[in-house]
Structure 1
Amino acid sequence: MKRIVVLFSALAALTTSAQGNKKIKEKDMPLFTQFTYEGNDAIYKENPLKDNEFYSPILQGCYPDPSITRKGNDYYLVNSSFAMVPGVPIFHSTDLVNWKQIGHVLDRPSQLKVEDSRISGGVYAPDIKYNPNNDTFYMITTEIAGNMGNIVVKTKDPLKGWSDPVKLAFDGIDPSLFFDDNGKAYLVHNDAPPAGTEQYQGHRVIKMWDYDVENDRVVPGSDRIIVNGGVDITQKPIWIEGPHLYKKDGRYYLMCAEGGTGGWHSEVIFVSDKATGPFIPAANNPILTQRYFAKDRKNKVDWAGHADLVDTPEGDYYGVFLAVRPNEKQRVNTGRETFMLPVDWSGEFPVFQNGLVPLKPIIKMPEGVTNQTGKNGFMPNGNFTFTDNFTADKLDYRWIGERNWRENFVVKDKNGIRINPSENTIKAKAPISTLFYRQQHAAFSAETTLQYKPKSEKDIAGLVCYQSETFNYVFGLTKKGNDYYMVLQRTEKGASKLLASEKVTLEKSVTLKVTANGDDYNFNYAIDGKEYKNLGGTVSGDILSTDVAGGFTGSLIGLYATSENDIQP
């Protein structure tokens, strides 16, 4: 199936997009000639790797709600993508240490309808499963946008793309499939309790349906509640969700997140002798959490939960889960990230090794594995530098749009890429012309070189730091009268404020750079690569934090252009 690629033709640049781009000549579009992101977190300097170690999180930045499956020696991992486009990033590994992004599951408009979604709407909590009974991979998720609802797509080979979605007839969120070795299949998900039975705010249930594999549907009338409230409903547990069903030694295990996705987040486990229950909670729940430790602990990892398990061909187990790494002011700018731990399942229940003590940044590698982080196409972690001169035939998969397909606004140029300005600003809950890269460190720098002469005060292009449509910074080049200006705008709760502006004399290019050291962000620019000048002083990254802005995503760094600029120097 086709993959998303960058458009090459000037003809495409001259057409009016359905996503709100005006007709504009390619030469008048802002040209971005390079982008460099560099991470500089102290924790990685203080904890260098030994030959038999690797870092967790394995995917830094906004890669939440991981789900994992295996066929033979091949592991596949997916994450939530919300209103990001393409949707549901997918990664492949043969050793659980080295991960390569192979694309996105939802990589074309027939699968993904998020054009009018808020950033934390769209695609929630995907589940990926391999069904050995028919040699097929399934990805099932809730797409809270575009009248999609709960959907399933499938493929024989994740490298060759996925089917169009099949809508499934049930309410609720966080669906997951289980394929028993006798050929039967089941679907479990989070739902509201039956009408009139809700006992407290946050009271949820886990439901199960028989799943018809031949027709890809839940069997009507087969739904039943298998967990009410959580481990112990007398304690009023909140948000039992993210269920996954497993089978080991003839018994069935249901693992769920419990406690909400913030500071009380955890993972809990139930067991049954039958696939359909009853499910009895383990006595030692939770099996993974960070809720009990000092709030001011050094190098804190928090909010751990929403996990999934996978076994190796040798019979060992590992768990992937989300967690966050707050900065020195306890703010969560990098969002929910994908962590990993080995799991001991030698007893009745799985145990995340060191999952009930403060999490460390290093875990031991499986035997015989060589860590190739950042090499040979594998995703980097720790402190690393990502540089893109935009010379490749297609964009790196790490570049994403918001509510907008990249080929709608990105045009390949021999010197880089051009952004076709949207009529929507960064504040719109609509498709925007911005190419995003995830913030992956508390301390980082990101810079891009821009060749652009705005025609009017309505034109702007530059760099954005974006938590959502209502919380963001815009750092860009615009025009007023016959003069060009660099501007810095802060938007909080949808209200925008100009922090600083400065008239500049344009030559060939301007380099824009944002640096962060925890909560402190600085925006700097240089004309033709000469001395950097700061604009606006040091500003707070508070509005780029999940716990301030709300929602479920991390901060994104974007290459931005609009033809409806509202920032006035």
Structure 2
Amino acid sequence: MKPQKIFFLFPLLFLLSFKIIGANDTLIKKQNKKTPVFSNVIYQGNDNIYRNNPLKPDEFYSPILQGCYPDPAITRKGDDYYMVCSSFAMFPGVPIFHSKDLVNWTDLGGVLNKVSEFNPHDTGISQGVYAPGITYNPHNDTFYMIVTAFSGGLGNIIVKTKDPLKGWGSPIKLAFDGIDPCIFFDDNGKGYVVHNDAPDKGKELYQGHRVIKVWEYDVENDKVIPGTDKIIVDGGVDLSKKPIWIEAPHLYKKDGRYYLMCAEGGTGGNHSEVVFVSDSPKGPFKPASNNPILTQRYFPKDRADKVDWAGHADLVLGPDNKYYGVFLGVRPNDKDRVNTGRETFMLPVDWSGIFPVFENGLVPLEPKIKMPKGVIENKTGKDGFFPNGNFTFTENFTAQKLDYRWIGLRGPRESFALVTKKGLEIKPFEVNIKELKPTSTLFYRQQHNTFSFSATIDYKPASEKYLAGIVCLQNEHFNYVFGVTKKGKDTYILLERTEKGQSKILASTKIDIKKNIRLQVKAAGDSYEFSYALNGSDFVNLGAPVSGDILSTNVAGGFTGALVGLYATAANDAQPQ
């Protein structure tokens, strides 16, 4: 093309670009009208167990992390304790907490918080990452977090940092299969990785037969040393009894001997913690004669205030020079269903003999334990410390940074959530809650069996393709949607139940929103009620109470607890009746 022709096109290109920019501005304005703004969110937990068991000045509650915070692992550097948990397809991955005393914990967010390095965008909610280990290595003053990632072809990975308060390095892929890895550093600085794996090919004896392997670890190059792997536990404590799912191994050294502690029995009613001893980190390991050292499997299923499934534990030396163990457990509701998921509990550990034993870990678990000697104040729920027991969480979205308790699913919350002067604006994705994709939903874990969750929404849906409201979710195939949408020229509120991927409208009604609408879900055990208020205070139930069965792992399966979220979509398929 000749230069003069190019010059002639400049005015035309300028006019075209001006029109395109103008069109884009118009589009943006239309999108903003379809964008809901959430404000004044209140979560309130009110379980009987806490009302009936008030704390004394020297006590704190267990679980220490309520809701879906399973598979805890813990480490210590000086006076600082760091604890990590599983997060599956929630984002960011691997929540991490910090404490100075094992009682009062600060939420530090997630270890894996970069989509470029951890991207569970196409995984089921129970995939992603789980069963992390965290270990401080005093020989190089470095923290290591090791975990199995079921997304993006990562497999087993390890990340490092000198200071967990300042973030973590990029994942390093490790060349071994299996799950539940943990890294251990000996007194001489040598590293070892232990993990759960399948038996050698052709040697699987029964369903659930697993083994524990150990590898030598190259600390300089951050890799397991090829050819050093060895099976150190085959099946479990007693192979002749066909134990299932030996997993979650942790290595410790005490008084010159090596201890291997593992979960056995599978996450469920037969879950337990067992321990072995050896004179070498590579075995042979001999099981303790008093195994299991922690379990709840021996007690009546209908006992009051039941805590169940105890296991998957880790040990740490406390501030009083006494050992403590963190482990997972569940608190079923009145229908014996698990809606709050697997939570993080704590007990003191007696290690005055050869083997560690969880104190009161072989009797029905109590909701309270004594604070370590020297800890003078329980500050949970105050001064920025993570709450437990019964508490109220109020979110006005006035802080520039969202509380870490708000999470995304399969992607970062920052991709759809924006804090504005009026509240939290959620840009709706063209994805609904039933799809295996990142959703435009800001989630909060259900942390009590009896709770309420309410939010005010400023929203005028543009068409039936748009919906905003509250979602209660166990996974993409099992959930409730309670939201505002359009039918023709009219605005409706509806309640949809999805079970096994099949959706049904339970109730809907036409409404006239003058300014905004307040939505609320209340649960009392298995009974959930959904209500709305057009004047901010006088709530009207939408339909009858419904069962929380589909929000339980008993019905929906998987490994996660129920989530309640602020939801918006531009791909709504729930139509009012």
TM-score normalised to the size of structure 2?
0.94
Answer with 28-37 or 254-263: which moved more.
28-37
**In structure 2, how many angstroms separate the alpha carbons of the residues matched to 1:313 and 1:367?**
8
Q: CA deviation at 1:313?
A: 5.0
Would you say 1:95 and 2:106 are equivalent positions? Answer: no
**In structure 1, how many angstroms separate the alpha carbons of the residues matched to 2:119 and 2:29?**
24
Cross-structure match for 1:379: 386
Cross-structure match for 2:36: 30
Cross-structure match for 1:439: 446
Cross-structure match for 1:565: 572
Contact 2:68–2:560 (8 Å) recurs in 1: yes
Cross-structure match for 2:250: 244
* Secondary structure of the corresponding residue to residue 507 of structure 2: strand
Contact 2:94–2:130 (8 Å) recurs in 1: no
Cross-structure match for 2:353: 347
Cross-structure match for 2:14: none
Q: CA deviation at 1:488?
A: 0.2
Would you say 1:140 and 2:140 are equivalent positions? Answer: no
**In structure 2, how many angstroms separate the alpha carbons of the residues matched to 1:531 and 1:47?**
33
Aligned pair partner of 1:479 in 477, 486, 490: 486
Contact 2:466–2:485 (8 Å) recurs in 1: yes
The one-character-per-residue Cα deviations of 1:439-465 (angstroms, maximum 9, x if unpaired) are: 000000000000000000010000010
The one-letter amino acid paired with 2:40 is Q
Q: 1:360 to 1:420 in 2, by over 3 A?
A: same
Answer with 365-374 or 53-62: which moved more.
365-374
**In structure 2, how many angstroms separate the alpha carbons of the residues matched to 1:88 and 1:275?**
27
* Secondary structure of the corresponding residue to residue 554 of structure 2: helix
Contact 2:61–2:367 (8 Å) recurs in 1: yes
Aligned pair partner of 2:50 in 21, 26, 44: 44
Which consecutive residues of structure 2, in runs of 5 or more, have no partner in the other structure? 1-22
The one-character-per-residue Cα deviations of 1:47-75 (angstroms, maximum 9, x if unpaired) are: 00000100000000000000000000000
Cross-structure match for 2:4: none
**In structure 2, how many angstroms separate the alpha carbons of the residues matched to 1:24 and 1:161?**
39
Aligned pair partner of 2:180 in 153, 169, 174: 174
The one-character-per-residue Cα deviations of 1:143-191 (angstroms, maximum 9, x if unpaired) are: 0111111000000000110001000000000000000011111000000
**In structure 2, how many angstroms separate the alpha carbons of the residues matched to 1:125 and 1:539?**
33
Cross-structure match for 1:428: 435
Cross-structure match for 1:318: 324
* Secondary structure of the corresponding residue to residue 70 of structure 1: strand
Contact 1:37–1:387 (8 Å) recurs in 2: yes
Superposed, 1:285-434 pairs within 5 Å as 285-369=291-375, 370-434=377-441
Q: CA deviation at 1:104?
A: 1.2
* Secondary structure of the corresponding residue to residue 226 of structure 2: coil
Q: CA deviation at 1:530?
A: 4.0
The one-letter amino acid paired with 2:517 is V
Would you say 1:128 and 2:134 are equivalent positions? Answer: yes
Aligned pair partner of 2:498 in 491, 494, 514: 491
* Secondary structure of the corresponding residue to residue 43 of structure 2: strand
**In structure 1, how many angstroms separate the alpha carbons of the residues matched to 2:330 and 2:308?**
5
**In structure 1, how many angstroms separate the alpha carbons of the residues matched to 2:205 and 2:143?**
38
* Secondary structure of the corresponding residue to residue 548 of structure 1: helix
Contact 2:320–2:374 (8 Å) recurs in 1: no
**In structure 1, how many angstroms separate the alpha carbons of the residues matched to 2:441 and 2:360?**
40
Cross-structure match for 2:201: 195
Contact 2:317–2:323 (8 Å) recurs in 1: yes
**In structure 1, how many angstroms separate the alpha carbons of the residues matched to 2:473 and 2:557?**
13
**In structure 1, how many angstroms separate the alpha carbons of the residues matched to 2:107 and 2:30?**
34
The one-character-per-residue Cα deviations of 1:194-242 (angstroms, maximum 9, x if unpaired) are: 1100000000000010000111100011111000000000000000000
Aligned pair partner of 1:464 in 471, 481, 489: 471
**In structure 1, how many angstroms separate the alpha carbons of the residues matched to 2:319 and 2:439?**
44
Would you say 1:161 and 2:177 are equivalent positions? Answer: no
**In structure 1, how many angstroms separate the alpha carbons of the residues matched to 2:466 and 2:47?**
36
The one-letter amino acid paired with 1:543 is I
**In structure 2, how many angstroms separate the alpha carbons of the residues matched to 1:355 and 1:123?**
28
**In structure 1, how many angstroms separate the alpha carbons of the residues matched to 2:318 and 2:338?**
33
Q: CA deviation at 1:404?
A: 1.5
The one-letter amino acid paired with 2:397 is F
* Secondary structure of the corresponding residue to residue 284 of structure 1: coil
Count of aligned residue pairs for this structure pair: 551
Q: CA deviation at 1:27?
A: 4.2
The one-character-per-residue Cα deviations of 1:87-130 (angstroms, maximum 9, x if unpaired) are: 11110000000001122111111331200010000001011100
Aligned pair partner of 2:218 in 192, 196, 212: 212
Would you say 1:515 and 2:522 are equivalent positions? Answer: yes
Superposed, 1:14-25 pairs within 5 Å as 25=31
Contact 1:24–1:420 (8 Å) recurs in 2: no
Q: CA deviation at 1:23?
A: 9.8
Contact 1:113–1:148 (8 Å) recurs in 2: no
The one-letter amino acid paired with 1:457 is E
Contact 1:32–1:448 (8 Å) recurs in 2: yes
Q: CA deviation at 1:536?
A: 1.6
Q: 1:165 to 1:428 in 2, by over 3 A?
A: same
The one-character-per-residue Cα deviations of 1:279-304 (angstroms, maximum 9, x if unpaired) are: 00000000000001000000000000
Contact 1:137–1:158 (8 Å) recurs in 2: yes
Answer with 476-485 or 98-107: which moved more.
98-107
Cross-structure match for 1:542: 549
**In structure 2, how many angstroms separate the alpha carbons of the residues matched to 1:307 and 1:23?**
52
* Secondary structure of the corresponding residue to residue 536 of structure 1: coil
The one-letter amino acid paired with 2:230 is R
The one-letter amino acid paired with 2:359 is Q
**In structure 1, how many angstroms separate the alpha carbons of the residues matched to 2:256 and 2:32?**
63
* Secondary structure of the corresponding residue to residue 487 of structure 1: strand
Q: 1:528 to 1:313 in 2, by over 3 A?
A: closer
- The structure that has the greater radius of gyration is 2
The one-character-per-residue Cα deviations of 1:504-539 (angstroms, maximum 9, x if unpaired) are: 011110000000000000000000314111012100
The one-letter amino acid paired with 1:111 is E
**In structure 2, how many angstroms separate the alpha carbons of the residues matched to 1:372 and 1:26?**
41
Q: CA deviation at 1:314?
A: 4.4
Aligned pair partner of 2:283 in 277, 281, 298: 277
**In structure 1, how many angstroms separate the alpha carbons of the residues matched to 2:211 and 2:97?**
31
Would you say 1:149 and 2:155 are equivalent positions? Answer: yes
**In structure 2, how many angstroms separate the alpha carbons of the residues matched to 1:399 and 1:306?**
25
Aligned pair partner of 1:455 in 447, 452, 462: 462
The one-letter amino acid paired with 1:75 is Y
The one-character-per-residue Cα deviations of 1:366-403 (angstroms, maximum 9, x if unpaired) are: 12221001001000111000000000011000000000
The one-letter amino acid paired with 2:116 is S
The one-character-per-residue Cα deviations of 1:484-511 (angstroms, maximum 9, x if unpaired) are: 0000000011111110001001111000
Would you say 1:524 and 2:531 are equivalent positions? Answer: yes
Cross-structure match for 2:238: 232
The one-letter amino acid paired with 2:384 is G
The one-letter amino acid paired with 1:454 is P
Would you say 1:505 and 2:491 are equivalent positions? Answer: no
* Secondary structure of the corresponding residue to residue 176 of structure 1: strand
* Secondary structure of the corresponding residue to residue 544 of structure 2: strand
